[in-house]
Chains A and B, each alone.
Chain A
Amino acid sequence: MKQRQWDALRLPLIAVALGLLVGCILIVLAGNNPATAYWALVKGSLSGVTELGRTLDKATPLVMGGLAVAVAFKAGLFNIGGQGQLLLGAAVAAYFGFRFSMPTVIHLPLAMAMGGLAAGLLGWLVGVLKATRGTHEVITTIMLNFVAANLTDWLTSRDGPWKDPESGAIARTPLVNESAEIPRLGGLPTGFLVAVLAAGICWWVFEKTNFGFEVRTTGLNPKAARYAGIKTQRIIVTTMVMSAFLAGVGGAIETQGVAGRFQPGFNTGLGFDGITIALLARTNPLAVVPAALLIGAMDAGSTLMQAEADVAPEIISVIQASILFFIAAPSVVRFIVRMRSDAATDDDMRLSSGWGA
């Protein structure tokens, strides 16, 4: 058992180490001191309540985006639409946040749920197209990213119905009402707890429930799933809705807990980081939390790194992309660190075949 846990951890840890190594080399090549840079990174993300708060802020939508990708993966689906789903969730939550006012106990969760449901609708579309027409979800989710981006742009644009009337030329929604705001506890965002709770629920669903078993079976072997009497088409639709819902709630938390409103451009890229995180977590919902914290901490610390070590924050993106590369290409890692495995696990195969299949 110990051995297996170590095996599961080994690849992600090595990928992170190799990613940091790549960063190190680039920093040196740019004529800076990697030790100073990485130390600044740590300080900028962990050294105090403000820093920690910033890390948690960054990590929250990442947990949700990571869960969205991980959940879809369980059913053998590759959800690249996290970005669009997150945008839509953020915008719709903002609308319900500023447009209505009611007691917090209702308003806060309602706005969040509406954000999730709006995104879930996108997921439903993807799932139905996949289940009934066989349209590949990678294609449809990418296309819906554009739809969602343009739709939310328009909603907040000059003649958009959700535009903040006081913002002049700036495209954004008004601030959400206080009753829809996610409170902070001593400077730390409680939205993060919601994300952790979501991760726990996802884990529980996949490990303990029949539904989770059906989803995993569908993802691992659709033919065997049908043979076992599982309605795989229904599973595909449900899982896509669930996946998109999670991304949408991630956007809603961003609106209600961090930005206070929806503003196009604020959330750029968050949805795509979900892919890195889900792969780093090897699609285990619980592992998504530390993976998101790691990526979030890098994002949070990058400003201080620039200030203290004069290293461009883009380096962080390069490190994150390298981590994704090493995770997605386990054979490359095996080659680099000379691991020879007797039996590639199904997870490995699924991760690397999910792209094309």
Chain B
Amino acid sequence: MTTSVLRARGLTKRFPGVLANDSVDLDLNRGEIVGLLGENGAGKSTLVKMLFGVYEPDEGTMEIGGEPADISGPADAIAKGMGMVHQHFQLVGPLTVADNVVLGAEPRSGLFIDEKAAVESVRELSEKFGLDVDPGAVVEDLPVGVQQRVEILKALYRGADILILDEPSAVLTPQETDELLEVMRGLAATGVGIIFITHKLREILAVTDRVVVMRGGAVVGAADTAGSTQEGLAELMVGRPVIFRVEKDQAVPGPTVLYVQGLVARDDRDQRALDNISLQVRSGEIVGVAGVEGNGQRELVETLTGLRRITSGTITIDGEDVTRASPRDIHRLGVGHVPEDREKDGLVSSYSVADNLVLNRYFKKPFSKSGLRDFAAIARNAEKLVADYGVATPAITTGVGTLSGGNKQKVIVARELSETTSLVVASQPTRGVDVGSIEFIHEQLVSARDQGAGVLLVSAELDEIFSLADRIVVLYRGRVVGDMPAADATVEQVGLLMAGAVDA
């Protein structure tokens, strides 16, 4: 027997210039996991934000547990049994897990928070739902995957029986993702209904009971997961067949573009993050940097692009010593940089799409003439890049902050790849991007390579590394523990190196 926990009918939401949701229906039953699929900008986040009361629907009705419900805001949604895990966690770093979970609904003894009871109930919850966390741990010391579990615990502590997860796996390592999927199965078994947004079809197939596919703000298909295939879902989503294999010719490497020798650097906590790294990227080849996140990838990218000071070692790009060069000097050498954290590093969210598309070159001709900005040239650049890279935006004057996650990423990729001549440093370039766009971004990276650029691709996805890289470098604890031609590498071998299990 199925009991409906959530029923939405005809939900519609308009933003200036976009119909973000067009009369969407959605059902969720007790203990069911529903996958929500769709291209970037299809309206998935908008839909769940309406469910959770972040946005007010323009039209449409909702029922929760069979009762008509009018949700006035997130607090109301929580009171009615919903929980949502946002991509940017809403945790208080210096507090413990238990404190974070009970925050705002603390067990009290008299005037004071009953710490014991808090720790106890968090422990009970985590045991009941198989969410392994130490209630006493300080949140900011925990890995991202565990922080996410704390977010889920927060929702469960408030009695959520409807859980909304908007691209939870985008910030997780493959290992953490597997654990998350396990947790989701466990929650569903206890009766929690889950709405799960992801761009990874593998995850959809692994964990959901039903899939709902959105395109252009409307539901264009729904299917039981059993019997669905990656290819079928992708085609439903994008409206055309998607090729999952990257088409590329044999690399023809030229001279060395990036030459790194004995690089040592410290992280933000002043710990040694890069320990004597040496590597090379030749023009016309893609070097994939594999590794579990947090093994020095971020620091490596930052030192290469001038954003982090180097303790010792040398970096040479195109024969020029850039060991102490500024980000701008490095940019001038024709280096493109797709940063890991697009919201924080790569975009100014209140700026227009057009301004963001010149963020790295606003000072150059034709965008600037004797210190003055040339808005016509800036607009032409934007029109061209938006068209070439298929950025879905109502206008080039639209604020980048209102674009969907994947389209923000496309803005960055368009900006960084459209002008690169010598080297591309791309960190998680397809994170949060839909399958069709992944295909596109991969093609762009390959074509940058074919035009003679060297590409350094940092990715947590082994699939991505293996399908793109000509050479694979493995990082473990800030050291290069493997460096091999991709053709000779196996997934097992790289996986072992990543885990630090073998010394290369």
Contact = CB atoms under 8 A, between A and B. Distances in A.
Interface of A: 3, 208-211, 213, 217, 220-221, 223-224, 226-229, 231, 340, 342-343, 345-347
B345 interface: yes
B56 A217 contact: no
Contacts of A223: 344-345
A342 B331 contact: no
B327 A227 contact: yes
B326 A211 contact: no
B349 interface: yes
Given A221-B349, A342-B55, A210 B339 contact: no
B401 interface: yes
B372 A224 contact: no
Given A208-B373, A209-B372, A226-B327, A346 B350 contact: yes
Interface in B333-376: 337, 339, 344-351, 355, 359-360, 362-363, 368, 371-373
Contacts of A345: 350
A17 to B, nearest CB: 25
Nearest to A4: B16
4 smallest beta-carbon distances between A and B, as pairs: A229-B328, A346-B350, A229-B327, A228-B359
Interface in B292-351: 305, 307, 326-328, 331, 337, 339, 344-351
A226 B305 CA distance: 11
Given A213-B362, A340-B56, A342-B15, A220 B346 contact: no
B339 A227 contact: yes
B346 A210 contact: no
Nearest to A204: B372
Given A220-B349, A221-B344, 10 more contacts: A209-B371, A210-B368, A220-B348, A221-B348, A224-B345, A224-B347, A224-B359, A227-B307, A228-B362, A229-B331
Contact of B373 (A209, A220, A226, A228): A209
B414 to A, nearest CB: 15
Contacts of A226: 307, 327
Nearest to A220: B348
A154 to B, nearest CB: 42
A210 B350 contact: no
A232 B348 CA distance: 15
B426 to A, nearest CB: 14
Q: Is the interface of A mostly helix, strand, loop or mixed?
A: helix
A200 to B, nearest CB: 16
A224 B359 CA distance: 9
A75 B228 CA distance: 52
Contact of A220 (B351, B363, B368, B402): B351
B12 to A, nearest CB: 14
A234 B121 CA distance: 51
Residue among A211, A226, A227 facing the most chain B CB atoms (10 A cut-off): A227
A270 B362 CA distance: 38
A227 B346 CA distance: 7
A346 B401 contact: yes
A223 B359 CA distance: 12
B360 A229 contact: yes
A6 to B, nearest CB: 13
A204 to B, nearest CB: 9
A136 to B, nearest CB: 20
Contacts of B371: 209-211
Contacts of A3: 16
A347 B348 CA distance: 12
B348 A210 contact: no
A343 B15 CA distance: 10
A270 to B, nearest CB: 31
Contacts of A231: 326
Given A224-B348, A227-B339, A208 B15 contact: no
11 contacts: A209-B373, A210-B362, A210-B363, A210-B371, A221-B349, A224-B347, A224-B359, A226-B327, A229-B327, A342-B55, A346-B350
